[in-house]
Structure 1
Amino acid sequence: MSWMAWLIIAIVLGIIEILTVDFTFLMLAGGALAAAGAAGLTENLAIQVLVFAAVSVLLLFTVRPWARNHLQRSTPDTATNASALLGMPAEALSDVTARGGRIKLDGEVWSARTYGAVIPAGSIVIVQKIDGAHAIVHPR
């Protein structure tokens, strides 16, 4: 196989890595680049495949764990979706009871409930939990 074919394989594996961000396909792409180098030196396909396999395994067991740990340490733990709403203040648009009510949360109107006493309209509440389409709130 020619060095150009190995280069194309490495590029395809790199594109797959961009979609997964697991560092597995990146290590395989490194193996394909090494095999491209071997293909430039020899026409023997067995040697090229052996270089691909050896370099890929070496990268998977040495570089990949280090890269994953580094990424996890350097990436902030950002809350998203419903988790990002927990602890946020909101304004009660109507009385909020255990049966229901309305609040304005992050610019949107939400259905809300409380576990405790009635919260009057106009009060500021804190989101304690998201239960389906309802925000469970308590007074500030």
Structure 2
Amino acid sequence: MDAFAAEFAWIVWLVLILVFVTIEMVTLDLTFLMMAAGSLGALLSGLLGAPWWLQLVIAAVLTIALLLGIRPPLLRLLKRGGDPAKTNVDALLGLDGRVVSTIGATGGQVRLANGETWTARLSPGTGRIVEPGERVLVTAIDGATAVVTPAERNSP
């Protein structure tokens, strides 16, 4: 068994490397890339004549070292360049607008500063009707409805 394992271990390591790289291409988490690098270290040690049990130890130690030592800084480096611009609903929060049709108990419409017209309702506790032309601020988005408050209420 030892002779068989020693003679064909390189094939096992090569297959593992290919499997790990393929999985990494799907997950993009760098975990399987570190496992592939550990397997590469074991493959190289096997080609240099290390016994199969030492190849396993090298693969395990190298994989753990890479997972704990190299992966976290690489992930931070990859995530550092993210786009800081707000998008979707986050971009609408705090945006001001003008009332297009009266916002009362049944709702109304506002035209936001970005040019979009939204169905709107008043934020709970507002307690008054907001007439066309008045400024409002978006405090939340509830489905396809902008929840707004009169702008003068948010002034210092």
Using the size of structure 1 for normalisation, the TM-score is 0.72
Q: 2:26 aligns with which of 7, 16, 37?
A: 16
Q: Does 1:113 align with 2:121?
A: yes
Find the aligned partners of 1:80 and 1:103 in 2 and give their Cα distance. 20
Find the aligned partners of 1:8 and 1:41 in 2 and give their Cα distance. 21
Post-superposition shift, 1:71?
A: 4.1
Equivalent residue, structure 2, for 1:87: 94
| SS state at 1:118 partner | coil
Unaligned runs of 5+ in 2: 1-8, 152-156
Larger Rg: 2
Unaligned runs of 5+ in 1: none
For residues 95-139 of structure 1, the C-alpha deviation after alignment (integer angstroms, 9 at most, x for no partner) is: 122431122344544221123232222444321112333211123
Post-superposition shift, 1:88?
A: 1.8
What CA RMSD, in Å, does the superposition of the two structures yield over aligned residues? 2.9
Using the size of structure 2 for normalisation, the TM-score is 0.66
Tell me if the contact between 1:90 and 1:104 (Cα under 8 Å) persists in the aligned partners: yes
Find the aligned partners of 2:99 and 2:145 in 1 and give their Cα distance. 13
Aligned length: 137
Q: Does 1:67 align with 2:78?
A: no
Sequence identity (%) = 32
